[in-house]
Structure 1
Amino acid sequence: MPTQTILLVDDDPQFNQLLADIFADTTYELVTANDPKKALELLKSTQIQLVITDYKMPGLNGIAFMEAARTIRPQLIFIMISAFLDTATARELINAGIGGVFTKPLNVFALLKCAVSLLEEHTSSQPPTQLHNAPALKANSLKKRLENFRQDYEQAVFTLYSKDTQLAANALAIPATSACFKSD
């Protein structure tokens, strides 16, 4: 069964690595590029279904990159990430057919959920001869991981809240002391 491939494009190598780490435990194949022009070259040689890209990059902004990429692969799905995104740009992205828009700091859970949802939708829209290759097991695995992450997060928040409450109770149990030193 062919693996679905995600292309991660960000001119910041550290953020690109963060995105790669987020998707490393999934069953998707990952390809990364730190330059949009190199990413366009990758699109010519690699079967890619989803592109997650930064909006502001040297050489090509996100919309220009998406337009150039779609001349190579018209059916590509895009998710755009940006530290600064105004309403007009968000509208432009939506009108250009973007699959998702995320701002930094990044909500990892929402990004994973969006990627899985878009890939599932893309797979279900394929002709029946290609449906037997659908990555349903991969998507279910990713959904389970997301649920586990969410549960771990909620448990960590509960634990921190419990400890904070306990510390506050202990602080209230300490008798208040005050002293006034009067010099004669």
Structure 2
Amino acid sequence: MTQPDSSAGVGTVLFVDDEPNILNALKRLFRPTGLRVLTAPDGPAGLDVLAAEAVDVVVSDMRMPQMDGATFLKAVRERHPQIERILLTGFADMDSTVSAVNEGGISRYLNKPWQDQDILTAVKDAVERGRLQAEVARLHALTAEQNAQLKNMNAELETRVQARTRDLQTAIGKIKDANESLKQNFLTTVRVFSELVEMRSGHMAGHSRRVAQHARELAKAAGLDEAATQNVMLAGLLHDIGKIGLPDELLAKPYNSLKPEERSVYIRHTERGEAALTAVSQLKAVGKLVRHHHELWDGSGFPDQLVGLAIPIGAQILAIANDFDGLQQGQLTARPLPPREALVYISQNAGKRYNPELANTFVRMVSERNGNRRESGLSLRPGMLKQGMRLAQDLLHPDGYLLLPRGHVCDEDSIVQLRRLEASSNRHIVVQIEDTQRGPDA
């Protein structure tokens, strides 16, 4: 084995041939190319060189002792498949050349004697091809490595995103819980204010709650959106908040029985109610409904004598709900009206006191809700009760708690207790009694 002529170059080629003069000729031919040239006298020596050196191209003679070129190149292919392989052969060696092509995987073969330019071109092409293949392999390996890193990064990122998403969902859940808590606290506060108003006039216990419920149902039936319906319901709970400062004797009288000077004081409660609610930003729109819930469709209401559609629709709804319950409590008329008569009143005043479309919707809604249930036929004071009469509705204490449940049959003791309560509280108590003379479809 000979040493290389040059240590510098752009590639390395190994020539294997058992004739020294051929090896020398090849070294001289390739010296100007700048390629690094290695030589070996036979196949085993060539394999030793390949084991110790980085080689790009192997050029082997076919006829050599110990190991012919086909066998040598087959061994090169098996041990160093990345090396380009070229065979030098004579015309008489075609069978061996075919074997070298099939078993050694040679990329090209050249006949002896060779043309210098042919072998120079073949070797340079093989060096370049080997480098391109090596670069492709390097890039494939780099791509695979980067893909693996990217996969790991994506997995790590997905884990982080999932963790962050869980944290975000937890935070959102806490915010929702906090908002729901604030909402409930807000509604509780509204109900507390509503109950404080009713404590001034115990005979109206539950009035604001019932008005709010009726108004909410009518708002939904009229097609108002959720926010508007909520405002109507809140206005129902707070519509009488301006009455807190009114004298007790004024609150105890039906509106129709008030003297002119008393009415002038009474009607200002809507303005005071709006002023009280406007200070709370969430209740500003509610305050507007409270101000106008006594406006009438024909313009005869108060405080601003608005006419028809100039009245906010929430206030139109509130007026119907408020009057329906007030009629049953004796707040508008000389005597409390049973629900059926209260509905007749609403219907008769459609187009006068009330928006006719809303009034008709309300009457239909309440009638359908009651269906074929037996209506409360009688509204009686305790002094008018008789033993055996059955309550058509729950009877609430003036302070709001339950006194007698619906269906209770009056006896001497309960009648006496109710009379004493009315006398001691100085408040009217109205008991809804079933009219046993009416059938279920009455």
Contact 1:85 1:103 in 2 (8 A): no
Higher relative contact order, chain-length normalized (CA < 8 Å, sep 6+) = 1
Matched, 1:53 2:60: yes
Question: How far did 1:115 drift?
Answer: 1.1
Matched, 1:68 2:75: yes
* TM-score, normalised relative to structure 1: 0.64
Distance, in Å, in 2 between the alignment partners of 1:5 and 1:98 is: 17
Unaligned runs of 5+ in 1: 132-184
* The one of 104, 108, 111 aligned to 1:103: 111
* The one of 119, 124, 146 aligned to 1:116: 124
Q: In the alignment, which residue of structure 2 is the partner of 1:156?
A: none
Distance, in Å, in 2 between the alignment partners of 1:89 and 1:107 is: 21
What are the residue-to-residue correspondences of 1:13-162 with 2, within 5 Å?
Answer: 13-96=20-103, 97-127=105-135
Contact 1:102 1:111 in 2 (8 A): yes
Q: In the alignment, which residue of structure 2 is the partner of 1:153?
A: none
Q: In the alignment, which residue of structure 2 is the partner of 1:182?
A: none
Distance, in Å, in 1 between the alignment partners of 2:138 and 2:34 is: 19
Question: How far did 1:33 drift?
Answer: 1.0
Contact 1:44 1:72 in 2 (8 A): no
Which is helix-richer, 1 or 2? 2
Distance, in Å, in 2 between the alignment partners of 1:98 and 1:108 is: 20
Distance, in Å, in 1 between the alignment partners of 2:135 and 2:86 is: 23
Distance, in Å, in 2 between the alignment partners of 1:10 and 1:61 is: 10
Question: How far did 1:130 drift?
Answer: 5.6
Bigger radius of gyration, 1 or 2?
A: 2
Contact 2:56 2:84 in 1 (8 A): yes
Contact 1:52 1:81 in 2 (8 A): yes
Distance, in Å, in 2 between the alignment partners of 1:2 and 1:8 is: 16
* CA RMSD after TM alignment: 2.2
1:109-165 deviations in whole A, cap 9, x for unaligned?
11111111122122122236968xxxxxxxxxxxxxxxxxxxxxxxxxxxxxxxxxx
Instruction: Describe the SS at the equivalent of 1:112.
Output: helix
* The one of 11, 16, 32 aligned to 2:18: 11
Question: Residue type of the partner of 1:123?
Answer: R
Question: Residue type of the partner of 2:100?
Answer: L
Question: How far did 1:17 drift?
Answer: 0.7
Contact 2:87 2:109 in 1 (8 A): yes
Instruction: Describe the SS at the equivalent of 2:44.
Output: helix
Distance, in Å, in 2 between the alignment partners of 1:129 and 1:63 is: 26
Percent identity over paired residues: 27
Corresponding residue pairs, total: 131
Contact 1:55 1:82 in 2 (8 A): yes
Question: Residue type of the partner of 1:18?
Answer: A
Contact 1:33 1:39 in 2 (8 A): yes
